[in-house]
Amino acid sequence: MKLFIMNLQLFAEVQTTLLSGLSAEMKTFYDMTLIDMAQANLVHDQFGQKRPIPANGGKVIEFRSFTPLGIPTDALTEGVTPDGNSLEVNTITAEVAQYGDYIVQSDVLELTALDNTILEATKLLGRQAGTKLDRIVRDALIANTSAFYCPKVVDGVETEVTSADELTEDCQLTVDVVSQVVAELRAVNAPTIDGDYVAIIHPYVAYDLMSDPAWIEAHKYAQPDNLYTGEIGKIGGVRFVQTTEAKISEGGVFSTLFLGEGAYGVTEVTGGGLQTIIKQKGSAGTADPLDQRSSVGWKAIKTAEVLIPEYIIRVESKSKRFSKTAKAN
């Protein structure tokens, strides 16, 4: 957890700031607040290869992945230099898009509010920005991966499921399914992330797994500083991170994403990827002739792209307890 130390003098300067220009120190303060609030919601974003927003580089960003090396079949011959190998780089391009929103507030609110309304607006917008940017990553991963459907298990009898339409409330994510997915990732030599694979899971799906006696709670194997955002525990060689933004489709179908390292790429939030825009009263000219309105907003450039599809497995399941009431997101 990050501790954010605030300079209280900044709050005393708020009214002055609204009547004059925004100082560099204040701009940095609000930028940091927005990014700090947004990052708390970037669960899907955190495992992607990060690429900076290219300055003056147009709308296309380039991601790279490297083809694994083949295994030598012949022994070396004494005194003979072998042919050696070379890096095979796969280039994948993606087009970035811009997103944003803002809050308008009146001069009366600024003068009468007990709270720092700019700060509170920045916090709300930061949460909104983080959720939106994380959904962009989530939807890119969902759209570009193949699905593994949890089998139907009734009275110990397992029946294979081959489509989402066949999923019933008896098709739950179990430790056995987790083990199958891990086997699939290992079979394609998908690298782990710090020793384990990672899965992004909805709280409703996590409910069933956490009741298994083999479940290990996160605080029992890692210090808080070493936990991923949203991490709740591990089982079967997979560390699980929980978010309400994990995909839910119509009919209460849940998608859990199992990830190996380097599976996808994303643009960075810092370095111009996410910005705060604050407009003081009077900055609109004749559009605000009585200096009655100011605004706080955010603007972001974002894209995500699957780089190695084999390193991502999307597991679709249902829940006996929650599928009937779960709303699609």
36: helix, strand or coil: helix
**Closest among 287, 325, 318, 304 to 142, alpha carbons compared:** 304
pLDDT at 54: 67
User: Pairing state of beta strands 231-235 and 216-217?
Assistant: antiparallel
| 295 in the same domain as 181 | no
User: Would residue 326 count as lying in a domain?
Assistant: no
pLDDT at 87: 79
Q: What percentage of the chain exceeds 70 in pLDDT? A: 85
User: Would residue 324 count as lying in a domain?
Assistant: no
User: Would residue 169 count as lying in a domain?
Assistant: yes
pLDDT band of 25, cuts 50, 70, 90: low
Q: Which residues have C-beta within 8 Å of that of residue 284, sequence separation ≥ 6?
A: 293
- Whether residue 227 has pLDDT greater than 80: yes
| 191 in the same domain as 153 | yes
User: Would residue 109 count as lying in a domain?
Assistant: yes
| 167 in the same domain as 98 | no
Provide the residue type at 139 as one letter.
Answer: D
| 274 in the same domain as 260 | no
pLDDT band of 315, cuts 50, 70, 90: very high
pLDDT at 30: 67
- Whether residue 282 has pLDDT greater than 80: no
pLDDT at 13: 45
User: For the whole model, what pTM was predicted?
Assistant: 0.81
- Of 77-91, 178-192, 222-236, the range with the highest mean pLDDT is 178-192
| 193 in the same domain as 233 | yes
Instruction: List, edge to edge, every strand of the sheet that includes 97-106.
Output: 97-106, 293-302, 274-279
Task: Please report where in the chains the tokens 């690298």 appear, as a residue.
Answer: 191
Of the two residues 156 and 115, the one the predictor is more confident about is: 156
User: Would residue 2 count as lying in a domain?
Assistant: no
Q: What is the mean pLDDT of residues 177-184?
A: 96
CA 225, CA 231: separation in Å to the nearest integer? Answer: 11
User: 3-state SS of the chain: helix, strand, coil percent to 5?
Assistant: 30, 30, 40
Q: Which CATH number does the domain housing residue 191 bear?
A: 3.30.2320
Of the two residues 319 and 22, the one the predictor is more confident about is: 319
- Total of domains in the chain: 2
- Whether residue 134 has pLDDT greater than 70: yes
pLDDT at 99: 93
pLDDT at 56: 64
Domain that holds residue 130: 9-68+88-140+266-304
| 241 in the same domain as 116 | no
| 92 in the same domain as 191 | no
User: Would residue 298 count as lying in a domain?
Assistant: yes
Q: Which residues have C-beta within 8 Å of that of residue 175, sequence separation ≥ 6?
A: 209, 212, 214, 235, 236
Task: Please report where in the chains the tokens 């004059």 appear, as a residue.
Answer: 20
For 177, other C-beta atoms within 10 Å of its C-beta total 22
| 194 in the same domain as 313 | yes
| 217 in the same domain as 204 | yes
232: helix, strand or coil: strand
Q: Which CATH number does the domain housing residue 30 bear?
A: 3.30.2400
Taking all residues of the chain, what is their mean pLDDT, rounded to a whole number?
84
pLDDT band of 16, cuts 50, 70, 90: very low
For 197, other C-beta atoms within 10 Å of its C-beta total 25
| 290 in the same domain as 229 | no
User: Would residue 113 count as lying in a domain?
Assistant: yes
| HSE value, Cβ hemisphere, 13 Å, CA-based, for 183 | 7
| 167 in the same domain as 130 | no
User: Would residue 73 count as lying in a domain?
Assistant: no
| 155 in the same domain as 136 | no
CA 263, CA 309: separation in Å to the nearest integer? Answer: 7
